[in-house]
Amino acid sequence: MQYMPRSSTNGLPIPHRELSADALRGVVEAFVLREGTDYGMREFTLEEKVSHVMAQLDRQEAVILFDPDTRSIHIVVVQ
């Protein structure tokens, strides 16, 4: 996951609770399926990865950002 300071302006924050369940799941799945996403030494299933990211979003440890220049969505860790 990318890291961002709390005051970052690298995108527009998208409140994850305002997305439909299907849209949120799609965003999180797309994120965890991206090549290069590293979860350490242990392999995790897709469901475990999705669950971990959802928990980080719920605990406000991560946020969804929309980059209007590239029209892409990123999930970043809040420091």
**Mean of pLDDT values over 28-42:** 78
66 and 19 in contact (C-beta within 8 Å)?
Answer: no
Q: What is the pLDDT of residue 41?
A: 74
The tens digit of pLDDT for each residue in 56-75 reads 999 999 999 999 998 999 99
Domain that holds residue 71: 2-78
24 and 16 in contact (C-beta within 8 Å)?
Answer: yes
37 and 50 in contact (C-beta within 8 Å)?
Answer: no
Alpha helices of the chain — where are they, by DSSP H?
Answer: 21-33, 46-58
Q: What is the pLDDT of residue 7?
A: 39
Counted domains in the chain: 1
Which tokens belong to 57?
């979003």
Residue 36's CATH number: 1.10.10.610
Residue burial 3-40, b: 16+ Cβ < 10 Å; e: rest? ebeeeeeebeebebeebeeeebeebbeebbeeeeeeee
Share of the chain above pLDDT 90, in %: 57
